[in-house]
Chain A
Amino acid sequence: DYKAEYKLSTVLGKPFPWGVGGERWAELIREKTDGRINVKMYPGTSLVNGDQTKEFTALRQGVIDLAIGSTINWSPQVKELNLFSLPFLMPDYKAIDALTRGPVGEELFRILSTKDVEPLAWGENGFRELSNSRHPVRTPADLKGLKVRVVGSPLFLDTFTALGANPTQMSWADAQPALSTGAVDGQENPLSVFVAAKMATLNQKNLTLWGYVADPLIFVVNKEVWNSWSPEDREAVRAAALQAAEEEVALARKGIAGDDTSVLSDIEGTGVSVVRLTEEEKDAFRQATRAVYDKWARQIGPDLVKQAETSIADRN
């Protein structure tokens, strides 16, 4: 018994890679199921009134049928997803891939599938970089006393507190005026968000590429909805998710990773000074947040964290 329309939830819409990926998934599903499954995307987590951290619960309850969710937003319901928010766990893109495409990814999918959802593919929101209106940040000491807006997870409060900053939890709607008036000094987000939200116009003139955490996205379907589909349609939806996710990851890394760094030069063109940390400089931040890492590794599960560290060490 198929519904006339299935609701797909995302946090960002077009032109963010996240939103492009969502529309692409919907389009591919329609194609591959010959129109039997009709998906409509609702960006801005509008299906949960914009409250990103309620998305997973709504998904599990069937209020949302499909979602491309962020590991940060779903961590209140799936504590293991905090793994990706462990400070300085993943040094580069290959490390992200080693996790999502290896045994860690499989284990996380197994955990998710016990929570009434069918996980299908890994997408990407990207490494989260730090910006502020005061001065360039090169060492943990530069962060001292900076008021930084962070997203909702106690782990982020711990990380920034350990670095001597003053983290403030704030919704996005509140963050923009707070940044423009200087009530808050800094923020952290993927570069794609930095660009699309025109952070330079919000006085965010100092950008530090420290890649302290990355935020993979997960393509999922509500279990009950999944089970209501025929086996061939399920495979079609899975194939569509894999294809859309691959395109989305490529788009998220375009102009940032590898030889093409056009996004960074565009950012510098708007008068933003970009600080690229050396390995030694990064290490200072890593040392400063070590206690937070260890504390949260215990909460996430030592075995999973160990596996992640091994996968990253073995990446080629």
Chain B
Amino acid sequence: MATGILFLGFLALMLIGAPLAVALGLAGSLAILDAQLGILSVPTNVYTGIAKYPLLAIPVFILAGLIFERAGVAGRIVAFASSLVGPRNGGLAVVAILVCMVMGGISGSGPADAAAVATVMIPSMRKAGYPAPFSAGVIAAAAATAILIPPSVAFIIYSVLVPQASVPALFAAGVVPGLLAGLSLIVPTVWLARRHGFGLVDTGPRPPVWESFKGAIWGLLAPVIILGGLRTGLFTPTEAAVVAVFYGLAVGLFIYRTLTWRALYEALAEAAEMAAVVLLILALASVFAWAGSTLGAFDRLAGAAVAATGNETLILILLNLALLALGMVLDAVSIFLILLPLLVPIMQAFGWDPVWFGAMITMNLAIGQFTPPLAVNLMVTTRVAGVTIESTVPWVLWMVAAMLGALALVVAFPGLSLWLPRTLGYL
């Protein structure tokens, strides 16, 4: 009965358009009331669901991404990438992908990456003859690598929910899948651009390599500082995030001199609001998760799933299909919070490596970030481009197919994600 209230209540609330956090928290509260588990567990869970030291990294990494965006780092990396790639057919689209990946090494969230790159790139891509829906699709897809290439909000949350997988190990495990995902996009992008003759308009002289490198170096150093600091043991993930913030501030205020105090206030307020949305889901999802695990609902469901299929490969494929389907309508953090209590017992039943599993799920959810109809990254880029999500579909489907290919490799060869964390001694 209480289990029914938990799942059906959540579904009903979600379908009438209640905020996801509320749907999770209220369904959990009702189940707790019905099963008389002690209603005071609700405020306790809400508080302890957020008041965790590792979670501090989430708001701070979000802020770091915004500060680098406001400081004008993206524009300088665009100039540098353009100077390397040159004015080729499809060249600017490739530049967009590379810039998304570099910015993904600073930002921890896909939509933030998408916003930073789209504002800079879509106008120049339009001038070069790329249709706006195509540009919006490419950038949305490439920005999805931000949750794979460290830092990553998704990995931090995964680590909090699955403590066996440490944040540094997960960050390392995301590097190769993230690069693979980004590079896989180049194939359909160049092919589509050549076939349709996009990007043939001459947009002026190629920027000089050395000059643009000097402009971009401060941005390019940020991922090095974050990852290097984690690797050498100089910082915990939370400290790495805050060092990135102050580094970005220094670059924006004193080197580029583009950041105003007003812009800084706006970045603080916006980051606070964006983080609050994630953290409120975390807080109320912990009520849902508490109710589900105390009722034993997740264990029973996972057991049933394992028993019904029994076959490791089959359940892995089904799991990926289910995640992809969910990724079409929900965002990564919510999927983690709803599904992980269910997936962890399955992972344990088959003895899968928790770090590899985290990288795989996250890659799946990255694809979901640009798969219509509900695709957070596409929402951002289409808004910047002034086009509809529907108009991007013919282009975006190719990107989805390409990244699915990269995902298949990561699923089939765990070594691809586990090689780096092993080499760095995290596993």
Q: How far is the CB of B311 from chain A (nearest CB, A)?
A: 29
CB within 8 Å for A63 and B38 given contacts A49-B48, A57-B44, A173-B163: yes
CB-CB contacts of A29-65 with B at 8 A, as 1s and 0s? 0000000000000100011111100100110011110
CB within 8 Å for A47 and B294 given contacts A170-B53, A174-B53: yes
**Residues in A whose Cβ lies below 8 Å from that of B159:** 173
Chain B contact surface mostly = helix
Residue count of chain A within 8 Å CB distance of chain B: 28
Q: Is there a chain B Cβ closer than 8 Å to A287's Cβ?
A: no
In the bound complex, CA of A183 to CA of B166 (Å): 14
Q: Whose C-beta in chain A lies nearest to the C-beta of B240?
A: A183
Q: How far is the CB of A214 from chain B (nearest CB, A)?
A: 26
In the bound complex, CA of A230 to CA of B44 (Å): 30
**Residues in A whose Cβ lies below 8 Å from that of B237:** 177
In the bound complex, CA of A49 to CA of B425 (Å): 29
A58 contacts B41, C-beta separation under 8 Å: yes
CB-CB contacts of B26-51 with A at 8 A, as 1s and 0s? 00000000001110110011001101
Q: How far is the CB of A115 from chain B (nearest CB, A)?
A: 16
Q: Whose C-beta in chain B lies nearest to the C-beta of A53?
A: B48
**Residues in B whose Cβ lies below 8 Å from that of A173:** 54, 159-160, 163, 166
Within 8 A of A (CB), among B280-304: 286, 290, 293-294
**Residues in A whose Cβ lies below 8 Å from that of B232:** 181-182
Q: Is there a chain B Cβ closer than 8 Å to A208's Cβ?
A: no
Contact pick for A63, options B40, B168, B235, B426, CB 8 Å: B40
A63 contacts B230, C-beta separation under 8 Å: no
Q: How far is the CB of A303 from chain B (nearest CB, A)?
A: 34
In the bound complex, CA of A177 to CA of B427 (Å): 11
**Residues in A whose Cβ lies below 8 Å from that of B53:** 170-171, 174
Within 8 A of A (CB), among B206-251: 230-237, 239
In the bound complex, CA of A177 to CA of B169 (Å): 9
CB within 8 Å for A61 and B40 given contacts A171-B52, A177-B168, A183-B235: yes
A181 contacts B231, C-beta separation under 8 Å: yes
Q: Is there a chain A Cβ closer than 8 Å to B186's Cβ?
A: no
**Residues in B whose Cβ lies below 8 Å from that of A181:** 168, 230-233
Contact pick for A49, options B38, B235, B236, B290, CB 8 Å: B290
**Residues in A whose Cβ lies below 8 Å from that of B290:** 46-47, 49
Q: Is there a chain A Cβ closer than 8 Å to B114's Cβ?
A: no
Q: How far is the CB of A67 from chain B (nearest CB, A)?
A: 13
**Residues in A whose Cβ lies below 8 Å from that of B167:** 177
In the bound complex, CA of A111 to CA of B35 (Å): 32
In the bound complex, CA of A51 to CA of B52 (Å): 8
Q: Is there a chain B Cβ closer than 8 Å to A180's Cβ?
A: yes
B166 contacts A177, C-beta separation under 8 Å: yes
**Residues in A whose Cβ lies below 8 Å from that of B293:** 46
Show 6 A/B contacts (Cβ-Cβ < 8 Å), sorted by A: A57-B44, A63-B40, A177-B237, A178-B233, A181-B168, A181-B231
A-B pairs, top 6 by smallest CB distance, nearest first, are A181-B233, A182-B233, A63-B38, A49-B48, A51-B48, A177-B166
